[in-house]
Amino acid sequence: MRQLAALFLFLGISFGTSLTSTAQVVTTGADSARVATPAVVEAPDTTRKWKPISQWSRPAKAAFYSAVLPGLGQAYNKSYWKIPLVYAAGGVIGFFIYDNNRKYQDFAKALRIRLDGDSTTVDAYANTTGVYSADLANNQGTLNLRRSRDFFRKYRDLDIILGVVAWGLNIMEAHVDAHLKAFDVSEELSLQLKPNLQHMGGTTSYSAGLTLQLNLK
């Protein structure tokens, strides 16, 4: 019985010692072991950082300048002859916006006065002999006032849209022109049209043709 108890005691001490030895990590001494630890992976920075304008590409700078002030991108690209065209187009569109808006406001004011129900207020077209006269039959003068108001309001709004499109084209032109500035257009490039014989599939015959040949450096 004592032998059996001693055997269990020996086995318990041996098992506990083995568990302790496997749990320990020796880091010093001649028999030290290097334990591999997983590398710490840093999450990539997904935040968009604003770059100063000095680090922008040339096309981006040209587009930005033209967005801020039409024609400035063309000046940055040294295409000075395009600046008068930009401002001529802007001036024409601006004039039509102003003129159509002025006429729209005029007819809108006259129509409000005529329909306000106050006999002491008279619009500028009421006593005329034209198509806006208040004396026309079937209230035709008032209907003409409404048509003219709607007409000039529509074309004023269309001119505003056209102005926005022209502003966008000004930006696009500066951006594309800046890209084209980097293209090689030296004399070593050539485009030639040459005669050529083309084989006709399934036959032994050839047909005459032309080949467009681009010679690069």
Instruction: Give the position of tokens 């406001």.
Output: 105
CB 69 within 8 A of CB 54: no
Q: What is the pTM of this model?
A: 0.62
Look up residue 30 and give its two tokens: 């001649």
Say how far apart CA 75 and CA 63 lie, in whole Å. 11
- C-alpha to C-alpha distances, 216 to 10, 105, 139, 210, nearest whole angstrom: 90, 61, 75, 19
How confident is the prediction along the chain (217 residues), in pLDDT tens digits per residue?
444 444 455 555 544 444 444 444 445 455 555 555 555 666 665 666 777 878 899 999 999 999 999 999 999 999 999 999 999 999 999 999 999 999 999 999 999 999 988 888 889 898 888 899 988 889 899 999 999 999 999 999 999 999 999 999 999 999 999 999 876 556 556 667 778 777 777 777 777 777 777 665 5
Backbone phi, then psi, for 198, in 5-degree steps?
A: -110, 135
Say how far apart CA 132 and CA 168 lie, in whole Å. 40
- Residue 111's contacts (CB-CB under 8 Å, 6 or more residues apart) are 123, 142, 145, 146, 149
